[in-house]
Structure 1
Amino acid sequence: MLALILSILFSVILLVNFRLHPRFKVNTFQAIIFNYPVCILSGLLFLPSNQHFSLDFSQNATYYALLLGIGFVLTFLLSGVSTQRMGMTATSLANNISLVIPVLFSLIVFKMSQNFDWLNYLGLGLAILAVVLSTFKKEEGVRDVNRLDWLLPLGVFVMYGITNTTFNYLNAQYVTASGQTIPFTLTILSGSVVFGLLIFAYRLAKGLEVFSIKSVWAAFPLGIPNFLSFYYLLKALDAFNNNGAYVLPLYNISVILISSVVGMVFFKEKLSLINKIGLGIAVLAIVLISHQGLIS
């Protein structure tokens, strides 16, 4: 449970970073692109002395991990386009509700349903409702959209669902038994680094970006907690037998709950009555999902 708590806390720190970017005029896109090399450096520092990191292209797992790293960047870029065209509300909801995909995968493919009782299922249903209510905000200033634009949040839903499901699956297949959590994490991040820098170079060459040294510095407080949240989420999945139906909803709604409280206290963000009801339901969902402590 400690690993899950740490993953949640470092994820909240990530969101605080994003919240501070406008105040310090940080280019968030560039900070995210450069955060991946910082993640690599962080992982190398945490690498145990009896382990080493290398890209072994004789192993299928290496290719799967690199593709997953590319998938993370593509999902981020798609989220950016969706936010611009459809607004934060539709994109955020699509992102968070996508947890149903890895949850169903875990229940059906990993046969985790045998560990669930009706209270757990009720908690999962309430978790999805809590996500919708707690992240809902009335959208303002979104341009007129056409019919095809609605495919963007759908794409966000599918991509986040696929990447999170793949993340859970690869951890179960290649990491849990070997104990190579950090090397495998670094392999995934290597795919993100290469693909992200290629995208940045393209945008730079096309004049769509102006290099910002401030964004490079901002990548450090972003990349370190990003790696740690990634690493501890893998450890949490390990601790709970890769039961994504248990870990991912707890992770998701806990991040929303804590980040909402941080936003209210430190950034004076306002929550509507619907948001507050959603947060209350989130607390109940956490209690129901975790009530029997699936793994001691």
Structure 2
Amino acid sequence: MINLLFSIIASTLIFIVFKLFNKYNINTFQAIVVNYFAACVCGLITYDSPIHIQDIVQSQWFYGAIFLGFLFISIFYIMALTSQKLGLSVVSVASKMSVVIPVAFGIYAYQEGAGVQKITGIILALIAVYLTSIKSNTTFSLKSLWLPIILFFGSGTIDTSIKYIETTYVADNGIPIFTATIFSIAAITGVLILTTKALKKQFAINFKTIFGGIVLGVVNYYSIFFLLKALNFENTESSTIFTINNVAIVMLSTLIGLFLFKEKLIFKNWIGIGLAIISITLVTLA
């Protein structure tokens, strides 16, 4: 469980970094592109075997990594649009409630346990994510509803695909190079987008954006690296890992927002935090 704990901490640090982007007026999309380069470098440094491009291209997980690379940066962009149009609380609800997709896949595809206690914990987890993330001024516009829907299915597809590809094709010592490849594909895609903007004279980058992107890339890489390590641990079900991971991130991020950024919590948020603790306990003990 130590790998899962590190993944939760790293994922929560992503929340803090994004908050600091707003404070220091850092261009979010440019920093995201830099982040993928930094995350790729982290993967290459962590990998302790010789790196051969031909071996990577010929590996069974390569096309899956390409798919995930495109999906990573696409969902990040959808997250940005959703937060701008509907608010951060809607982003949190849509992305974290998507945990139901990999959980259902794990139970169906890998015959993972689905006892009364575990199912109760998962249901409470979904309620907890909703109550913890929702704000009093959260409203949905039918015209913009497609954004959280895409975010929901996109986030769920990422988690499910990572689990399936890692379990089926990636060796334990191959996790660093697998994640590095995903991030490199995302980085290349981002560069192509930025190049298009540069040609239209809509592009300018500065040192603080590069620095912010590097910091984001390091924590982003280790959030995925430790999640994969946790999923790869024997006798640990993915439905349990994903439930605990997502609920803990929402709960911890909410508490950090309260104490570090002086965000205000409504009564529903506190109920959600309480349910999150109960759901994590139920799913873990199950």
TM-score scaled by structure 1? 0.90
Asked if 1:118 is matched to 2:116, the reply is yes
The structural deviation recorded for 1:242 is 6.7
The structural deviation recorded for 1:209 is 3.7
Amino acid in the other structure paired with 2:74: L
Contact 1:240 1:247 in 2 (8 A): no
The structural deviation recorded for 1:244 is 2.2
Residue matched to 1:162: 157
Worse-matched range after superposition: 64-73 or 19-28:
19-28
Residue matched to 1:35: 35
Following the alignment from structure 2 to structure 1, what is the Cα–Cα distance between the partners of residues 172 and 281?
A: 32
Taking only the aligned residue pairs, the percentage that are identical comes to 29
Asked if 1:270 is matched to 2:264, the reply is yes
Residue matched to 2:132: 134
The structural deviation recorded for 1:59 is 3.2
Task: Indicate which of 176, 179, 188 corresponds to 2:173.
Answer: 179
Following the alignment from structure 2 to structure 1, what is the Cα–Cα distance between the partners of residues 72 and 42?
A: 18
Contact 1:168 1:242 in 2 (8 A): no
Residue matched to 1:279: 273
Contact 1:98 1:160 in 2 (8 A): yes
Please tell me the root mean square deviation across aligned C-alpha atoms, in Å.
1.9
Superposition misfits of 4+ residues, deviation over 6 angstroms: none
Residue matched to 1:86: 86
Residue matched to 1:77: 77
The structural deviation recorded for 1:241 is 5.2
Count how many residue pairs are aligned between Structure 1 and Structure 2.
285
Contact 2:42 2:180 in 1 (8 A): no
Asked if 1:289 is matched to 2:283, the reply is yes
Asked if 1:221 is matched to 2:219, the reply is no
Following the alignment from structure 1 to structure 2, what is the Cα–Cα distance between the partners of residues 209 and 82?
A: 22
Deviations 1:242-270 (A, max 9, x none): 73211011001111111222222221111
TM-score scaled by structure 2? 0.93
5+ residue gaps in structure 2? none
5+ residue gaps in structure 1? none
Task: Indicate which of 145, 148, 153 corresponds to 1:150.
Answer: 145
Amino acid in the other structure paired with 1:135: S
Deviations 1:62-92 (A, max 9, x none): 1111111110101111122222233333332
Residue matched to 1:237: 231
